[in-house]
A and B are shown apart, each in its own frame.
Chain A
Amino acid sequence: MSNKHVKAIIIGAGAGGGCIAKELAGAGFSVVLLERGGWPVYDEYINDELISQRTQVLRPAFGPDPEKNPRVFIHPDGTRQVTNSLSGAIHHHIAACVGSGTVSYGAMAWRFMPEDFKMRSTYGEVPGAALEDWPISYNELEPFYQQAEWELGVAGDDSENPYAPPRKKPYPMPAFEQNVDGELLSAAARRLGLHPFPIPMLRNSVPYLNRPACIRNRTCVGYQCPVDAKNGTQNTVIPVAMSTGNCEVRTHCQVAEILSSENGKVKGVRYFDENNREQTQTADLVVVAGSASETARLLLNSKTRLFPNGLGNNYDLVGRFFQGHAYTGAFGLFDYEVKTYTGPGATFGLCDFNHHVEGMIGGGLLANEFNRMPYLFSQTRPPGAARWGKEHKAFQAKNFKKMAELHGPIQEMPMYENRVTVDDTVRDFWGIPVAAITGQRHPLDHENCKYLSARAEEILKEAGAIQTWQSVGGRGSVGGFQHQCGTTRMGNDPKTSVTDKYGRVHDIDNLFIADGSLMVTGGGFNPVLTINALGFWVGKNIVERM
C-alpha cells in the first residue's frame, strides 16, 4: 500500500519543524510531519527527577529509547566507542517526541543580537576557528522572531536591557516576577553597574492562546507542564497546522533515507512506521528538521549518483562545524534561605557579557539557575568538599535552600574538525547507520568561560554569599550536549556552506533544512527562539517560491 503523494514532507516535529509545518499547512500545502517519537502525555511522565530530560539517570522522559539509538563517539586518538544515553558516556541526543525539546525545556526565549549574525566581520579571523557571518542579518530575521514570540507566546520585558536588539513589537505577555534569589542577585548585579532584567520566557505569565497561566511548578525544566502553560511547538504551531486540515502528524516514524530522482531533485523519504514496517512517502519537497546531529546523519545516509557522499555533501561540509554550548558560572552559599523552589527557578538574565567585553569574542549571557532537585543537588559541592559520608549529608541538609547560582551558555567557536559523520558498522534498531561524533573544543571557549564564571562569582559575593566557587566549562571534547547546531551551515557560496540563505540545500531545488543545523554560529544564548524564527523564515520563502 502506498502513501498518498503530498506537497511537503517535514522530518522532525521540534522547534524548527513545528514552525515550518504551520507555515506550509497554513499556506495550503499538503504536509506530512514525520516524528520519531510520540505525543507527550503528562501522565506518562510524572515529576520524577531520575526520569527527567535534565537528569536522565534511569531513562530520558521523552526519548529517544537509549537501547534502540546507539551512537559512536570518536576519541581524539581515533578509538571508537559505542555509546547510549544511559551508560554515562558522551552523547548528544535530544528529546524524541512531538515538540521535542520544547516540551520539557526551561523555555528561555532569547533573540540573538545583531553581532551574533556577523561574527566574522565583528571579530575578524580567529585562528583555529571557522567564524563566518550568517547570510542573513538580524534585521532580516526580526519579523520572524516577532512571529515566534506571538504565535508560540513569550512573556518578557527587555526595557531594562540596554543591549536588547531592536524590536518592532513588544512581547505579547508581561514579564514574570523575580523569585527570592533573583531579587537578591539582580540587586547585587545592579550595584556592580550591570543590567539585570527578567528572562523572556516561552511560558504564559497570563492566560494566552486558550491556555492558562503558569503555576510556578517546581519541576518545570526537564518536565512537561501539568497545566500546559509552557509553550512548545506541540501545543501551539503544530495544533494550528493540524487544524488547517492540511497537516498529518505521523508519530513513531524513523526516517532512514531521503529518496532522489535521476534529475537530482529529491522525491520523498523511506521510513519505518510505528510498527517498524518500511514505508515510502513521496512529496514535491522535503524539509529536514531533525536536530543538528540527526539532520546531518540523514543527509549523509542519503547517497545518490550525483551526491555519492550524501545529499549536499559534495564539498565535505555536511556534519561539520558541530557546536553546542559550554555552560559556565558560579555558586554561592548564603547563611539564610534564598531558594523557594518555586518553578522554574531562573528569573533574571544579564546580557552585559555578550559582545560588550573588551578582548572577548562572543561571550554569553548569565542567569540565575533553574531549580536543582535533590539528586542533582547532591552532585553539587564546593571544591574540596566531601563527596560522601556524614559531611556530604550535612551539606545537603543545611544548604539545600541556601545555595544560589548564576550560569550561562558561552558562544562556542565553530570548528571545521568538530563534526557528525556516520558509522556504517554500527546500526540502530532499524538497521540505519548511526551518527558518529568527534572533535575538540577551541581553547577560547574555556578562556571565555573563565571570564564569565569570574563575573558570576563577583555578583554572588556582592550579594553577600558567605562562600562562593566557580564552575568553569568549555574544555575537552566537542560541544553539542546542549543546543546543538551548525552542521548544515547556511551561506552564499556552495563551496563553503551547505544551504543558501533560505535553507535550501545548494544544487537541490526541493530539499530544505529548518532547524539549528542552519546556524552558522551558535550565539551566547539558548537557541530555541532563533530555531523557531528560522523555521518560519524558511517556510515563508518556500511558500513564496514553490
Chain B
Amino acid sequence: MSHQIIQDRREFLKASIMAFGGAIMLPSCLRNYTPFLFFTADEALLLTAICEQIIPADENGPGATQAGVIYYIDKQLYEVFTWEQDKYRLGLTAINESSLELFSANFDMLPTDKQLLFLKKMEGNELPDSYWKDNSASGFFRTIIQHTMQGFYGPPRHGGNKNYISYKMINLDYPYVVGRNLYE
C-alpha cells in the first residue's frame, strides 16, 4: 500500500469521525473541540482504525467506521462502562508504543497487512511485554471486539449502527413496525 493511500485513509478516518462535530464546531474558542465524551482525537483515530479491522468495509457492506462504532464505544465508556476507562486509556497508549517498537509507526498509519499482523499478535498476547504490565493485551483486544460488535450490531440509539447499516447487511427489516414483519 502506497504512502499516499495511507494518508488518504487517515484523512478519511479523520473526516469521518469529525463530521459529526463539525456541524456544531465554533471558531477559535473550540479549536480543540472533538465530538467525543471520553476519547481524545488521537485515541479516537487509533481506535477507529482498530475497529475497522474488526469489522472492515468490504463487499458485504460498510464497516465499523461508517457505522459510527467509535461513537458507541465513546458514549458507553462515558455513561455506562466507566470501569473500563482506564483499560482503554492505558491500552491505547500501549498499542501505540508497541506499534512504534514493532513497525516504527503509529498503528493507524500502518498498512492493512501490518495492522492485521499487529492485531493477531495482540490477540495472542505477543506484543512487547514492557508496554503491557498493567493491562493484558489479549484481554483488551477481546474487550474492543465485544464493544465493536455491540456498536455495529446493536440498535442505533446507542451511537453505532448508523442508519441501521448492519441490519441492512443481514436483511433484517428496520425500523421495526410492531406487529408487522417485513421479510424480503
With A392-B55, A393-B60 given, can you name 9 additional A-B contacts, CB distance below 8 Å? Answer: A58-B80, A227-B178, A378-B152, A378-B153, A388-B55, A388-B119, A388-B148, A400-B172, A401-B171
Which interface residue of B80, B155, B157, B172 has the most chain A CB atoms within 10 A?
B155
B176 surroundings in chain A (CB, below 8 A): 47, 218-219
Q: Is the CB–CB distance between A390 and B56 below 8 Å?
A: yes
The answer, among B116, B158, B172, B181, for a CB contact under 8 Å with A216, is: B181
Tell me the smallest distance from the CB of B70 to a CB of chain A, in Å.
16
Q: Is the CB–CB distance between B153 and A375 below 8 Å?
A: yes
B76 surroundings in chain A (CB, below 8 A): 58
B85 adjacent to chain A (CB < 8 Å): no
- With A387-B145, A396-B169 as contacts: A374 and B153 at CB distance below 8 Å: yes
Alpha-carbon distance between A400 and B169 when the two chains are bound, in angstroms = 10
B24 surroundings in chain A (CB, below 8 A): none
The answer, among A50, A217, A394, for a CB contact under 8 Å with B155, is: A50
Alpha-carbon distance between A154 and B183 when the two chains are bound, in angstroms = 29
Alpha-carbon distance between A307 and B56 when the two chains are bound, in angstroms = 62
Tell me the smallest distance from the CB of B108 to a CB of chain A, in Å.
17
Q: Is the CB–CB distance between B169 and A397 below 8 Å?
A: yes
The answer, among B53, B55, B157, B178, for a CB contact under 8 Å with A215, is: B178
A48 adjacent to chain B (CB < 8 Å): yes
Tell me the smallest distance from the CB of B50 to a CB of chain A, in Å.
10
Alpha-carbon distance between A392 and B56 when the two chains are bound, in angstroms = 10
Q: Is the CB–CB distance between A389 and B116 below 8 Å?
A: yes
Q: Is the CB–CB distance between B170 and A374 below 8 Å?
A: yes
Which interface residue of A219, A341, A390, A401 has the most chain B CB atoms within 10 A?
A390
Alpha-carbon distance between A374 and B170 when the two chains are bound, in angstroms = 8
15 of the cross-chain contacts (CB-CB < 8 Å) are A58-B76, A58-B80, A58-B158, A218-B176, A218-B181, A219-B176, A374-B167, A374-B172, A388-B55, A388-B119, A388-B148, A393-B55, A393-B56, A396-B166, A397-B170
Which interface residue of A59, A217, A397 has the most chain B CB atoms within 10 A?
A397
Alpha-carbon distance between A379 and B153 when the two chains are bound, in angstroms = 11
Q: Is the CB–CB distance between A50 and B150 below 8 Å?
A: yes
A394 surroundings in chain B (CB, below 8 A): 58, 60
- With A50-B158, A226-B178 as contacts: A57 and B150 at CB distance below 8 Å: yes
Q: Which residues in window 375-403 of A have CB below 8 A to B? A: 375, 377-379, 387-390, 392-394, 396-397, 400-401
Q: What sequence of 0s and 1s flags, for each residue 435-466 of chain A, a beta carbon within 8 Å of any chain B beta carbon?
A: 00000000000000000000000000000000
B149 adjacent to chain A (CB < 8 Å): yes
Q: What sequence of 0s and 1s flags, for each residue 92-116 of chain B, a beta carbon within 8 Å of any chain A beta carbon?
A: 0000000000000000000000001
A137 adjacent to chain B (CB < 8 Å): no
For the complex of A and B, the 3 pairs showing the least CB-CB separation, nearest first, are A400-B170, A374-B153, A397-B60
Tell me the smallest distance from the CB of B40 to a CB of chain A, in Å.
24
A187 adjacent to chain B (CB < 8 Å): no
Interface residue total, chain A, C-beta cutoff 8 A: 35
A84: nearest residue on chain B (CB-CB)?
B83
Q: Which residues in window 55-112 of A have CB below 8 A to B? A: 57-59, 86-87
- With A58-B76, A374-B166 as contacts: A341 and B83 at CB distance below 8 Å: no
Alpha-carbon distance between A412 and B33 when the two chains are bound, in angstroms = 56
The answer, among B54, B80, B83, B149, for a CB contact under 8 Å with A379, is: B149
B61 adjacent to chain A (CB < 8 Å): yes
Q: Is the CB–CB distance between A341 and B172 below 8 Å?
A: yes
The answer, among B152, B166, B181, for a CB contact under 8 Å with A342, is: B181
Alpha-carbon distance between A58 and B58 when the two chains are bound, in angstroms = 29
A58: nearest residue on chain B (CB-CB)?
B80
Q: Is the CB–CB distance between A377 and B153 below 8 Å?
A: yes
A340 adjacent to chain B (CB < 8 Å): yes
B55 surroundings in chain A (CB, below 8 A): 388-389, 392-393
- With A342-B181, A378-B153, A379-B149 as contacts: A393 and B58 at CB distance below 8 Å: yes
- With A378-B153, A389-B56 as contacts: A226 and B169 at CB distance below 8 Å: no
The answer, among A226, A341, A378, A389, for a CB contact under 8 Å with B181, is: A341
A394: nearest residue on chain B (CB-CB)?
B60
Q: Number of A-B pairs whose CB atoms are under 8 Å?
A: 90
Q: Is the CB–CB distance between A341 and B155 below 8 Å?
A: no
B119 surroundings in chain A (CB, below 8 A): 388
A57 surroundings in chain B (CB, below 8 A): 150, 154
B179 adjacent to chain A (CB < 8 Å): yes
Alpha-carbon distance between A389 and B181 when the two chains are bound, in angstroms = 31
Q: Is the CB–CB distance between A49 and B155 below 8 Å?
A: yes
Alpha-carbon distance between A218 and B80 when the two chains are bound, in angstroms = 27
Q: Is the CB–CB distance between A87 and B83 below 8 Å?
A: yes
Tell me the smallest distance from the CB of B54 to a CB of chain A, in Å.
4
- With A50-B150, A388-B54 as contacts: A397 and B183 at CB distance below 8 Å: no
Q: Is the CB–CB distance between B56 and A48 below 8 Å?
A: no
Q: Is the CB–CB distance between A49 and B179 below 8 Å?
A: no
A59 surroundings in chain B (CB, below 8 A): 80
Q: Is the CB–CB distance between B83 and A378 below 8 Å?
A: no
A342 surroundings in chain B (CB, below 8 A): 181
Tell me the smallest distance from the CB of A513 to a CB of chain B, in Å.
35
Alpha-carbon distance between A342 and B81 when the two chains are bound, in angstroms = 32
Alpha-carbon distance between A374 and B167 when the two chains are bound, in angstroms = 8
Q: Is the CB–CB distance between A389 and B54 below 8 Å?
A: yes
Q: Which residues in window 138-171 of B have CB below 8 A to A? A: 145, 148-150, 152-155, 157-158, 166-167, 169-171
Tell me the smallest distance from the CB of A281 to a CB of chain B, in Å.
35
Q: Which residues in window 31-55 of A have CB below 8 A to B? A: 47-50
Which interface residue of A48, A216, A217, A393 has the most chain B CB atoms within 10 A?
A393
Q: Is the CB–CB distance between B158 and A378 below 8 Å?
A: no
The answer, among B58, B81, B145, for a CB contact under 8 Å with A390, is: B58
Tell me the smallest distance from the CB of A322 to a CB of chain B, in Å.
27
Q: Is the CB–CB distance between A341 and B167 below 8 Å?
A: no
A389 surroundings in chain B (CB, below 8 A): 53-56, 116
Tell me the smallest distance from the CB of A436 to a CB of chain B, in Å.
21
Alpha-carbon distance between A380 and B151 when the two chains are bound, in angstroms = 16
B180: nearest residue on chain A (CB-CB)?
A215
Alpha-carbon distance between A215 and B176 when the two chains are bound, in angstroms = 13
A392 surroundings in chain B (CB, below 8 A): 54-55
Q: Is the CB–CB distance between A375 and B149 below 8 Å?
A: yes
A227 surroundings in chain B (CB, below 8 A): 178-179
B158 surroundings in chain A (CB, below 8 A): 50, 58
Tell me the smallest distance from the CB of A182 to a CB of chain B, in Å.
16
Tell me the smallest distance from the CB of A370 to a CB of chain B, in Å.
15
